[in-house]
Structure 1
Amino acid sequence: MTKILYISPENIVGLLSTWKKAHESAGNTCRYVTMFHTILDFPEDICLNLPLITNQVWYLKIRRKLQTRWYRRDPDMERPGNPPWWTPANHLEAYYFRLRDRLWQGRIEKAIRDNRLEDFDIYHFEWGLDLYRDCRFAERLKKAGKHIVTHYHGIDLRNRGVLPKMDELSDLVLTNELDLLPRYPRMKYLFLPYDTEQFPAKKHVNTPLRILHMTMNRYFKGTERIIEVCKQLEKDFKVEFILLERVPHNQAMAIKAGCDINIDQISNTGGWGYGMNSVESLSMGICTCTNMLPEYEAFVPDHPFVHIDSENLYDQLAELIRNPEIIQKKGAEGKIWVRKTHGLNSVREQLYQYYREAGFIGV
């Protein structure tokens, strides 16, 4: 039996609880630690509730002002380099993280002792982040002979960059974002795991037909253009447009299950192709639309997505509305594809193959 621990700022798309289920179904032990509770209200395991970190809107606004005014950094700008490295912008930022580490230390060390967090075999540091910005916990684990994995999900690498110490300590580097592979040569790709069997296949199209768009960040999804087009479609056809923005997950899933078309993104700004939002809707048998760059089309040539783009979005969605049989067909294809590609067993076995290649576990 292997003991696996995930460490992450938050359980943002429920991924940590999914990994826990996947590892435990294979007879292993898995736990996860989060720094704060996500506003989407996913379940927690060990949540530290640390101060000075959250995804609440007020905090994000303050952080943006600090980065632009005091650290002279555009938070939407991708860092150069392959990989892009994170270093403090100036003495002020370096001092902030030293102060934060000191403030957090008591709570972190108590959690380590109380939950025996140094007794695991494999450690996954999500977003490439340790519990401390100076990476002292990961360094401690490495000296004790533990296996270190870092996993990047998008803007953590593009906009923040790789912490040099975490790069030095990592035995295995993973991503679920195709565009990151050339940016960090050590990286290996892993599809997002999901319990694809928890929803029945969709049987019919609603009247009126329901079009959904969900977003945590309008800029990254191209949300303003999506709203503009879908509002016009509501006027021209018998359809209902539903926008969900930073809504608790259980509430969002209940609404999503009653929709017919899910629009993921049209900009490829916060990552190429699709993410967990699409994996969920495909698992429900919902026709799912996103922008697919040629590189992504080549990577998943059997994908079930309806390709959309900003310029032709109205016509592309109108074509679906006029042909509900295509909506049903694409939804059925999506259910089959997501089971094969993102199912717990297949993704877990790919991860375990990476473990074997890195010498974490036996053949």
Structure 2
Amino acid sequence: MRAERLAGVDSQIVTLMPSPYGHPQEDSLNLPLFSGGIVSKLRTLVGSSAPIDNVRYRGEQIPPVWNPSPAGKILFALRDFMWDFKVKNSRWVRELDSYDALALDGGIGFLRSGKYVLGWAERHGCLITIYYGSDLRKRGVIPRIDSAARYVFTFEFDHTLIHPGAKFMFYPFFADDMPPRRVRDDGKVRIGHSPTRRSTKGTDVILTVLERLRKKFPQVEIVLIEGLPYQKALELKSEIDIFI
């Protein structure tokens, strides 16, 4: 969004739930029953929650398509019903027609059914979907949204092999956000790793190898950056010599 605004584009970010990492750019609908707790248990119970890891997609369906169990469909339909009133009355839906392009992270709109974004796509046409990793490999596309999308972008090379329309983009990063390099003159070599979700980053394997390295070379210090506010994470990264 910041890059788009610097280019003179009127850009906004809207999330279904606030980010736990304190990103300053977003506006959130703060919808209930998004994830965790009883939602995770129900999704596991009805078989609509696939394990999230960094395993390459090896299925035959290209692109992978979201196809939940009958119970899973009911669960998402009920949640859509609960969310619909709040979504419909949000200023974002009321102002949707004032935007020329609509980009959906993970290929999902306000509701799993695609309501509101599909209507917008019929009126305006420039619907964009962006995939980040397991969203495409494990869950797959939402068929009606995928059919309506004019552009499909991804930050993962392998996605271009499993979605015929996916175009690769480099992940955006503002170097100005990084604090100045902080060097500690203590002889340590700091190796950092910052997983958002351990299973998708191979964190257990990485930490096992780093621990072996630390035992062999005592000057190595492992810096695990996990579950921290955005600014604090950047501060720790500014002290790292090698980042994984």
Give the structure-1-normalised TM-score: 0.60
* 1:210 lines up with 2:190 in the alignment: yes
* 1:31 lines up with 2:7 in the alignment: no
Q: Secondary structure at the match of 2:135?
A: helix
* 1:122 lines up with 2:101 in the alignment: yes
Alpha-carbon offset, residue 152 of structure 1: 0.9
Alpha-carbon offset, residue 73 of structure 1: 6.1
- Partner of residue 256 from structure 1, selected from 237, 241, 244: 237
Quote the residue 1:70 is aligned against: 46
Quote the residue 1:289 is aligned against: none
Structure 1, unmatched stretches of 5+, are 1-19, 264-363
Q: Separation in 2 of the partners of 1:74 and 1:136? A: 24
Q: Separation in 2 of the partners of 1:244 and 1:39? A: 14
* 1:226 lines up with 2:206 in the alignment: yes
Per-residue deviation, residues 308-339 of structure 1 (Å, max 9, x unmatched)? xxxxxxxxxxxxxxxxxxxxxxxxxxxxxxxx
More helix by share: 1
Q: Secondary structure at the match of 2:141?
A: coil
Quote the residue 1:141 is aligned against: 120
Quote the residue 1:174 is aligned against: 153
Alpha-carbon offset, residue 181 of structure 1: 0.3
Q: Separation in 2 of the partners of 1:73 and 1:48? A: 23
Query: Which structure has the higher relative contact order (CA within 8 Å, separation 6+)?
Result: 2
Q: Is the 8 A contact 1:24 1:30 kept in 2?
A: yes
Structure 2, unmatched stretches of 5+, are none
Alpha-carbon offset, residue 115 of structure 1: 6.0
Q: Is the 8 A contact 1:31 1:45 kept in 2?
A: yes
Q: Secondary structure at the match of 1:193?
A: coil
Q: Secondary structure at the match of 1:210?
A: strand
Q: Is the 8 A contact 1:79 1:159 kept in 2?
A: no
Give the structure-2-normalised TM-score: 0.87
Q: Separation in 2 of the partners of 1:36 and 1:202? A: 33
Q: Separation in 2 of the partners of 1:178 and 1:114? A: 33
* 1:102 lines up with 2:78 in the alignment: no
Alpha carbons of 1:148 and 1:99: their partners in 2 closer, same or farther (altered >3 Å)? same
Alpha-carbon offset, residue 168 of structure 1: 1.5
Q: Is the 8 A contact 1:152 1:175 kept in 2?
A: yes
Q: Is the 8 A contact 1:37 1:44 kept in 2?
A: no
Size of the alignment, in residue pairs?
A: 238
Per-residue deviation, residues 259-291 of structure 1 (Å, max 9, x unmatched)? 11112xxxxxxxxxxxxxxxxxxxxxxxxxxxx
Q: Separation in 2 of the partners of 1:117 and 1:142? A: 10
Q: Secondary structure at the match of 1:144?
A: helix
Letter in 1 for 2:173: Y
Q: Secondary structure at the match of 1:128?
A: coil
Q: Secondary structure at the match of 2:129?
A: strand
Alpha carbons of 1:87 and 1:141: their partners in 2 closer, same or farther (altered >3 Å)? same
Q: Separation in 2 of the partners of 1:83 and 1:233? A: 40
> Which stretch has the larger CA shift, 243-252 or 176-185?
243-252
Q: Separation in 1 of the partners of 2:48 and 2:97? A: 38
- Partner of residue 168 from structure 2, selected from 186, 189, 196: 189
RMSD over aligned Cα atoms: 2.5
Q: Separation in 1 of the partners of 2:96 and 2:9? A: 16
Q: Secondary structure at the match of 2:51?
A: coil
Quote the residue 2:139 is aligned against: 160
